[in-house]
A and B are shown apart, each in its own frame.
Chain A
Amino acid sequence: DSGVTQTPKHLITATGQRVTLRCSPRSGDLSVYWYQQSLDQGLQFLIQYYNGEERAKGNILERFSAQQFPDLHSELNLSSLELGDSALYFCASSVAPRPPGSEQFFGPGTRLTVL
């Protein structure tokens, strides 16, 4: 158990809908990362937050948005869903600040299926 929790574990929805994925980082971790894993694209970084502020952005679609709340949990919002958004979505957290090299701890993921 990494200490990172994600809900829900599975999500099935229809095209055009909007969903929210939730992540609670490990106690004490200020940085949260979101990744998407699909069969054709592999594991891809989406976005990073540190203590409530967006710090880095990857290949995140405009239909996707995220935020980190004062209690440090994070939500990833996916809207106007398409079939291709079906994937595993992972959240990770890390301790910050500390010297470079700190590992990221990953949650169990949310499996999104868009029908």
Chain B
Amino acid sequence: DAKTTQPNSMESNEEEPVHLPCNHSTISGTDYIHWYRQLPSQGPEYVIHGLTSNVNNRMASLAIAEDRKSSTLILHRATLRDAAVYYCILRDGRGDAGGTSYGKLTFGQGTILTVHP
């Protein structure tokens, strides 16, 4: 699996934007970039994913570099509830030959986001 590199931790103040970076210099053309987060004492939660173009959803935005070797998860206005571990994960879009396996998620150490009131 292609590897991702994220800062161990980041801090933000409530109501301010947060930019969480992820480097993935060995990404292949079929790798999707996924972000999950894990709130304290909960299971991981899907945030957003993309392939080449920037993506927006109700939770966040994903900015993907033109060469796809890095990406940034953007939380537009951090809240205390956004304090979590954020994981950047590459996922091969080819799946298996039958097209029924979308593959495991390979979690790294992630970025611990602390949000200050």
A interface residue numbers (CB < 8 A to B): 2, 4, 30-31, 33, 35, 42-45, 48, 50-51, 55-56, 58, 90, 92, 94, 96-97, 100-109
Contact segment of B13-21, B45-53, B72-80: B45-53
Q: Are A42 and B96 in contact (CB under 8 A)?
A: no
What is the bound-complex CA distance between A90 and B44, given in angstroms?
A: 9
Question: Which one of A51, A56, A90, A100 contacts B43 once the chains associate, using CB atoms below 8 Å?
Answer: A90
Q: By the criterion CB–CB under 8 Å, are B46 and A97 in contact?
A: no
Cβ-defined contact, B100 with A43, below 8 A: no
7 CB-based A-B contacts, threshold 8 Å: A31-B100, A33-B105, A43-B38, A50-B101, A90-B43, A92-B44, A104-B105
For the complex, give the distance between the alpha carbons of A45 and B51 in Å.
23
Q: Quote the shortest CB–CB distance from B49 to chain A (angstroms).
A: 5
Contact B100 A100 (CB under 8 A): no
CB neighbours of A50 from chain B (8 A)? 100-101
Residues in B94-109 with C-beta less than 8 Å from chain A: 94-96, 99-109
- Chain A residues near B49: list those with CB within 8 A: 101, 103
The one of B32, B42, B51, B94 in contact with A108, judged by C-beta atoms closer than 8 angstroms, is: B42
Complex Cα gap A110–B42 (Å) = 10
A68→B95 CA distance, assembly (Å) = 20
A45 CA to B107 CA, complexed, in Å: 8
Residues in A with CB closer than 8 Å to B107 are 35, 42-44
Residues in chain B near residue A109, CB distance under 8 A? 42-43
The answer to whether A100 touches B104, judged by C-beta atoms less than 8 angstroms apart, is no
Given A42-B109, A100-B95, A101-B32, answer yes or no on A56-B45 (Cβ-Cβ < 8 Å): no
Interface centre among B46, B51, B99 (most CB of A within 10 A): B46
Contact residue among A2, A4, A45, A107 (Cβ-Cβ distance under 8 Å from B105): A45
Q: Across chains A and B, which 7 residue pairs bring their CB atoms closest together, nearest first?
A: A106-B43, A100-B93, A103-B46, A45-B104, A43-B107, A55-B101, A106-B44
